[in-house]
Amino acid sequence: MPKSTFLNLPNEKKQRLIEILLENFSARHISQVKVADIVEDMAMSRGAFYKYFEDLEDAYTYTIQYYSIQIHRDILKYISQNKQDFFQGIENYLAWCSELEQKSSYWQAIRFLTRSDDFTKHQRTKPSAESGRLKEWFKLLKANGFHITSEEEAISFLYFVMDLVINSLTDYIANDWTTDELLQDYRYKVKWLQKGLKTERSES
């Protein structure tokens, strides 16, 4: 994780540095990114970079975690707008993503997460039991009648949903799909989740 020097920066400066990290890490693989490139974009010394992060890997890990949390929150926002239709909320989020300007920082974040092959994006950060995000998540699960029996299962399902979204967007990008193709593929996945794969057999 970044050092307290970075975390205590004024929000505006910290946000600008995060955007520079995203620009560098989304443009090329981490093996091709150099600290020298980042500090040049940040207009600061190499020494200042190491006051903020342990090393390049630390900055990379933080960038993944930062944008993963942001996308988590936005998915929850869209689901919350369709409290009684959980999967429709996700579909609306995917449709919104597909209409983003490809030069936007949000689209860069999506491209970054879909191309990242690092285990970091699969590391689960457990929200505090008192956090608004977790409380809202429990409300959404209850509103949709989902049979979730524990906090651990609820958090596992939260990350499952995140994977569902990122995998759908990865397929959208990799296959150069239209919005309609993205949503149709997503609806297949929802059908499998809700109805399963086997047809019901009538008793003889």
DSSP annotation of 178 reads: -
More confident residue, 118 or 38: 38
Tell me the domain boundaries of the chain.
Answer: 4-195
Over range 167-191, report the average pLDDT.
Answer: 97
Q: How far apart are the C-alpha atoms of 168 and 196, rounded to whole Å?
A: 19
More confident residue, 95 or 130: 95
The total number of residues written for the chain in this structure: 204
User: Given pLDDT bands bounded at 50, 70 and 90, which one contains residue 39?
Assistant: very high
- Predicted local confidence at residue 121, as pLDDT: 53
DSSP annotation of 203 reads: P
- Predicted local confidence at residue 179, as pLDDT: 97
Over range 159-187, report the average pLDDT.
Answer: 96
**73-108 burial, b for 16+ CB within 10 Å, e for fewer?**
eebbebbeebeeebbebbbbbbeebbeeeeeeebbb
What does the mean pLDDT of the chain come to?
89
The structure's pTM equals: 0.86
Please check whether the domain covering 4-195 is classified as CATH 1.20.1250.20. no
Q: How far apart are the C-alpha atoms of 41 and 43, rounded to whole Å?
A: 5
Over range 6-13, report the average pLDDT.
Answer: 95
Over range 149-153, report the average pLDDT.
Answer: 89
Do 108 and 22 form a contact (C-beta atoms < 8 A)?
A: yes
- Predicted local confidence at residue 23, as pLDDT: 95
- Phi, psi at residue 127, to the nearest 5°? -65, 150
